[in-house]
Structure 1
Amino acid sequence: YLSFLDCQVLMTDPKVEVRKWFTKAISDPDVRVKYPMFVELIRSFHYVTLDASDKKNFGVLDPIIFLDGFEAKETAQNIIEQIYDLHGKDAVKTEVLKTLDAVIERKAKGETVGLMHVVDHLANSEDPTIKSAGELLVQMVQNSILQLVFSYGDADAINLNRKVTILEIAGLDLPNEDDDPRYYSDSDRKSLSIMIGLAKFCEKFGRRSHDDPTAIIFDEAWTLTKARGGKRLVQDMKRVGRSFKNQLYLVSQNMADSETDDDKGNFGARFAFDNDVDRPDILKTMNLPQTKQNEEMLANMVKGQALFMDFYGRVGKLSIDCLFEEWREAFKTVEKSHSARAEEELA
């Protein structure tokens, strides 16, 4: 529906699934014959795949490139601390912050710089502790997905001039939503650091103009609350809509990821599908009493049913039906299982 409106749309696709299902839908011979305008619409979508194995993508999410001042510093610090724990390492942290200030100042003077200049400075330090930290960061960045956010500042900007852009990230290995952060692997931490850069990139997209409407669909939003400074990033993204013509859609597996206690009222509407481990948060977010009856109501919802809160705070249960067979194929995320078919028949 957003593609029909007068706005630019940016959708993130961390799992690289959207293109697969859209392409499969319009490859169906019957769909191509019966719904040519739908096929034309889907073909108009612009896909950008951020692949760290392709040098042209190095640094496209480097915060020092597309952000300035304190925003660049704060985001860069969060990215570094996501992959390297600075807690209790005052000497290293001080040097990181001082170097970030120096590199960002060089950028303000017109130099081409990026996060790798910070890492190189640490690796060349005469202090053995700082040097060791820098060398470790160099090794972590080399030949890894981190090259999307660590660069020397010479990356080309992503083309966001199309009506609908779907931003894919190849090779992302996100942790499970319920994994304990204490036991994240290096791959998990690297992937979450990429999500930090991606969130700030989306926020900047939403702030491009006071006059031109934009919409951001941020999938796997739960990853932000797991990342360093992630809750602050979610709040920043939501607040863009107050002064810019931006709509933000956060898609997450957990209601608690969408709103914090000190940030109430920034959402206009909410959809909540049942999740047996998330029912208390669903009821809380929907302003419904924590009663056995309400929990049973959630438990009895079938696939396609959700709680919906409208712009006036009214809450009700609704069933979502896709009226168009070609849309239904495009919206798939998995092939239908036998249990799903049985549940549909019982409903």
Structure 2
Amino acid sequence: MVKRLEYPIAKTAENMALRKDGVVTVFYRVPNTPITITDTDKKRKHKVTVEQVIKKLEKYHFFEVDLVPKDFLLSEKAKDFERDLAVDCQKIGKQTLERTVKVLTEEMEIPYEYEWLISITIEKNLVRENLKDAIKNQLNDIAENMANLLGFEVETVSNWYEDYEEVEAVIYQLLSPLKAKRLTNEELYYHQALQYMMYVPHMKEEVLANREMANITDVVFRMPEKGILEFSSIYGTSYISILPIGQFQRTIFNGFHMGELLQRLNFPVWLKLKGEFINKTRLNGEMGRSNNRYRNIMNEAYNTDTVQQDRILMGAYSLKDLMKKVGNKEPLIKFGSFVIVAGSSIKQLKQRRQSVLTYFQDMKVSVFEARSDQPYLFQSLLYGQDLQKTSRKWNHLVTSKGFAELMLFTTTRSGNRVGWYIGRVDNRLTAWDNVQEAVKGSKNLVLFNATVANKEDIAGKATKNPHIIITGATGNGKSYLAQLIFLLTSQQNVRLLYIDPKRELREHYQKVINQPDYAKKFPERKKQIESFNFVTLDATIKYNHGVLDPIVILEKENAQSTAKNMLLYLLRQATEIELNQTTSLTNAISEVLERREAGEVVGFNHVIDLLCKDEDRKVVEVGEYFKAIIRNSILELAFSDGNVEGLSYNERVTVLEIADLSLPKADSDNISDHEANSICLMFALGAFCKHFGERSDDETLEIFDEAWVLMQSSEGQAVIKSMRRVGRSKYNTLGLVTQSVHDAENEDDSTGFGTIFAFYEKAERKDILKHVGLEVTEKNLEWLDNMVSGECLYYDVYGNLNRIAIDNIHPDIDPLLKPMKQTKSSVLENKYAS
């Protein structure tokens, strides 16, 4: 059977749609309110806001709320993101993005994300008009109806929308607590077209290329079997089933967050809510008749000594409650609720349909398959259609508060709109067996771009703070994520500095890329790793002497202050400093810097030489002391004759390994000579890192792995603090990878971290919740305890907070992230796992 559908909308203008019956419907996109699934208090406040907004729509009579699984546009996003790739990484960067699209599309068919829409009807009687215009419009309506009966179509004036602009502006203001945005003409057309392309792969640009209303319905529509609709167009074929939601159990309606629960399914579903504010006068008669019917049934049950069914008792109670609300003049809403399931094949559709039916059955909510009703249900649910009489057998009656209980306009998305794929949002409250299962259980993709927080004018961004912190216990995945972000971001047009105190990256990377199989399979990744500038701060290697020489690596002003601070610190460890010694130090540094500026090859060693040649014997003693403690110590890293290259600012990607660095704890009273030398070196290292981030307007990212090594000392904290303050003004992002959430705290620094990844640390459960802004409750603690290794809490720049499962899908990156090999013991342990 082939059926031709009648489309209700005739014309559109921006967010306004003129229906064929002359009524106008206005459309808005409601930005998703980010609410963590365990945040009960925020959910309660959000429902109050929704209730207040919905209540104000009573005068407009009809409205519709839609949850739409919109195409994630992964391919388009990847193509656009290519513009952000570095010149030297064009090939490998494109391969990474193309593989992302390929793998995720093969798994999901159509990667998607959810969007909320609300549309409201503006009837003609709401448009202001004088008596003359009213009579004229009434005559026009009569003439138009006569013309339609005779088979003629009356042409609509081109500026029809002008009469409705004033009312639309009022509605837009009413929706402002939800931060609603008017749909553009393109968006309105696209959403209309999506009604006929549910679960059909397409390119958005192709759909929008010719925005003729006739193209929207250019599909072949048939019912291959009862309960299933088939749509075929130039873009492809898909199958859908519309499932009306019947009876809600009253005991669960309060707190039945359907809008949230549907998003937890691991396939896309559409939710349509067609609402109508009802006529209370007509309702009084219906309630009276129903009340008499319930009374007669209950009296009969009492007289015959029959146990009354729970359903009858609940119905009577509900009716009394309704009568009370009508008496209190509360607005009442009659609405239909419909879940639409789609698939690329009939088999897939049936599996998904059964999953939805079981899902609701477990919650004791009636859902009907409506096998024979599918064509007219689809027709009645099109945009622009009011609540139809044909679907009233599935309608529900609630107050605005009851309607808000459905938890509308929220989502559990995380991450950036464009960026590198790093995992999935885990919407489950309980624990998975492992992170792989968590990934499979979610289709909610997480993209990440480390430099986004530095950008201005990004819609919805909740922070201007660019910095990132990754915390958690050893073995839970924090370094894995840090290195994944590092390798992905290294393909962008960004200058990177990775501080590696554990000295793991160079050795591991070299070992991987030099394996014959790897080099053969992934030549471009091997080439990229070989282009990294690996620097090891190891004083036992003579080649490294002077790489941190402040005279060489810093500009004059920074070199002056850094060199002076280093020497004064070393001197304070040995003796009291006299004024003439300080003066001589300052003069010697200034002289060497001037000589270098004049073109002479000089370095920090020449400052010591000048002190040794000073006329004042006490100054000479200072110079000789410095020579003695520098020789054969890690201080040799910071002293040279000026003929070394020093740490380079020109290399785009640098991995800086630190050898033999030993910093004392901040509260330590006894500091060894080696610890003092390490602290002195931190002055130079900190100055280099700070200068790396601020010396140009290029985007920069510094990642400090195992940052706790620095944070345990006051000098290390000073380095981090100075880096955090470079921040947005210089397009710099700092990433800290550390064990404790307390490493993010600093009484003297309010800049904080705009992006947080918090992995599990049993000893800091309560602190982790406070760190990400959640209350310490049993529910939140249990949710945190249910994280498996490889999962973390992610607070993004938009204020979204969710549990995410980290996922790497690139075989050329995977071995670089896994220095720990699987042992025979671990294989056997897994073999006999229950």
Q: State the TM bucket, normalised to the shorter chain.
A: 0.7 to 0.9
CA contact (8 A) 2:666 2:714 kept: no
When structure 1 is superposed on structure 2, of 28-37 and 129-138 the one drifting more is 129-138
- CA distance in structure 1 between the aligned counterparts of 2:542 and 2:513, rounded to whole angstroms: 31
Say if 1:120 and 1:287 are closer, same or farther in 2 by CA, change over 3 A: farther
Which residues of structure 2 form unaligned runs of 5+? 1-487
Which residue pairs with 1:5 in the alignment?
492
**1:297, distance to aligned residue in structure 2 (A):** 4.4
Counterparts of residues 1-347 of structure 1 (less than 5 Å): 1-68=488-555, 71-80=558-567, 85-86=572-573, 89-91=576-578, 94=579, 97-111=582-596, 114-119=603-608, 135-169=624-658, 171-174=659-662, 181-210=668-697, 212-291=698-777, 294-295=780-781, 297-335=783-821
Give the % identical residues: 36
- CA distance in structure 1 between the aligned counterparts of 2:592 and 2:740, rounded to whole angstroms: 39
CA contact (8 A) 1:123 1:130 kept: yes
SS in 2 for 1:307: strand
SS in 2 for 1:248: strand
CA contact (8 A) 1:8 1:164 kept: yes
**1:299, distance to aligned residue in structure 2 (A):** 4.5
Say if 1:84 and 1:163 are closer, same or farther in 2 by CA, change over 3 A: same
- CA distance in structure 2 between the aligned counterparts of 1:244 and 1:174, rounded to whole angstroms: 31
Say if 1:70 and 1:284 are closer, same or farther in 2 by CA, change over 3 A: farther
Say if 1:270 and 1:204 are closer, same or farther in 2 by CA, change over 3 A: same
SS in 1 for 2:738: coil
When structure 1 is superposed on structure 2, of 142-151 and 49-58 the one drifting more is 49-58
CA contact (8 A) 1:106 1:113 kept: no
CA contact (8 A) 2:548 2:647 kept: no
SS in 2 for 1:326: coil
Cα deviation digits, residues 306-345 of structure 1 (max 9, x gap): 1211013332221112223332210134445767996999
When the two structures are superposed, what TM-score results if normalisation uses the length of structure 2?
0.36
CA contact (8 A) 2:584 2:619 kept: no
Which residue pairs with 2:9 in the alignment?
none
Cα deviation digits, residues 20-74 of structure 1 (max 9, x gap): 1112222334333333332232222232334323444322212233335663354
- CA distance in structure 1 between the aligned counterparts of 2:565 and 2:718, rounded to whole angstroms: 11
Say if 1:157 and 1:69 are closer, same or farther in 2 by CA, change over 3 A: closer
SS in 2 for 1:241: helix
CA contact (8 A) 2:588 2:611 kept: no
Say if 1:119 and 1:96 are closer, same or farther in 2 by CA, change over 3 A: farther
CA contact (8 A) 1:268 1:311 kept: yes
Say if 1:275 and 1:168 are closer, same or farther in 2 by CA, change over 3 A: same
- CA distance in structure 2 between the aligned counterparts of 1:341 and 1:63, rounded to whole angstroms: 54
**1:5, distance to aligned residue in structure 2 (A):** 0.9
SS in 1 for 2:793: strand
When the two structures are superposed, what TM-score results if normalisation uses the length of structure 1?
0.79
Say if 1:23 and 1:55 are closer, same or farther in 2 by CA, change over 3 A: closer
CA RMSD of aligned residues (A): 3.7
CA contact (8 A) 1:83 1:189 kept: yes
Cα deviation digits, residues 134-184 of structure 1 (max 9, x gap): 544433210121111133444323344333222234x424358x7963355
CA contact (8 A) 2:498 2:705 kept: yes
When structure 1 is superposed on structure 2, of 17-26 and 242-251 the one drifting more is 242-251
- CA distance in structure 2 between the aligned counterparts of 1:81 and 1:345, rounded to whole angstroms: 62
SS in 2 for 1:322: coil
**1:283, distance to aligned residue in structure 2 (A):** 3.4
Look up the equivalent residue of 2:563 and give its one-letter code.
A
SS in 2 for 1:110: helix
Look up the equivalent residue of 2:689 and give its one-letter code.
C
Say if 1:198 and 1:294 are closer, same or farther in 2 by CA, change over 3 A: farther
SS in 2 for 1:109: helix
When structure 1 is superposed on structure 2, of 15-24 and 215-224 the one drifting more is 215-224
- CA distance in structure 1 between the aligned counterparts of 2:584 and 2:703, rounded to whole angstroms: 34
**1:202, distance to aligned residue in structure 2 (A):** 1.9
- CA distance in structure 2 between the aligned counterparts of 1:108 and 1:23, rounded to whole angstroms: 39
- CA distance in structure 1 between the aligned counterparts of 2:650 and 2:616, rounded to whole angstroms: 46
- CA distance in structure 1 between the aligned counterparts of 2:832 and 2:638, rounded to whole angstroms: 48
Larger radius of gyration: 2
Say if 1:305 and 1:221 are closer, same or farther in 2 by CA, change over 3 A: same
The structure, 1 or 2, with the larger RCO (C-alpha pairs under 8 Å, 6+ apart) is 1
Say if 1:100 and 1:135 are closer, same or farther in 2 by CA, change over 3 A: closer
Higher strand share goes to which structure? 2
CA contact (8 A) 1:107 1:113 kept: yes
CA contact (8 A) 1:141 1:147 kept: yes
SS in 2 for 1:288: coil
Say if 1:310 and 1:96 are closer, same or farther in 2 by CA, change over 3 A: farther
Which residues of structure 1 form unaligned runs of 5+? none
- CA distance in structure 2 between the aligned counterparts of 1:341 and 1:188, rounded to whole angstroms: 44
- CA distance in structure 2 between the aligned counterparts of 1:192 and 1:345, rounded to whole angstroms: 50
Look up the equivalent residue of 1:105 and give its one-letter code.
S
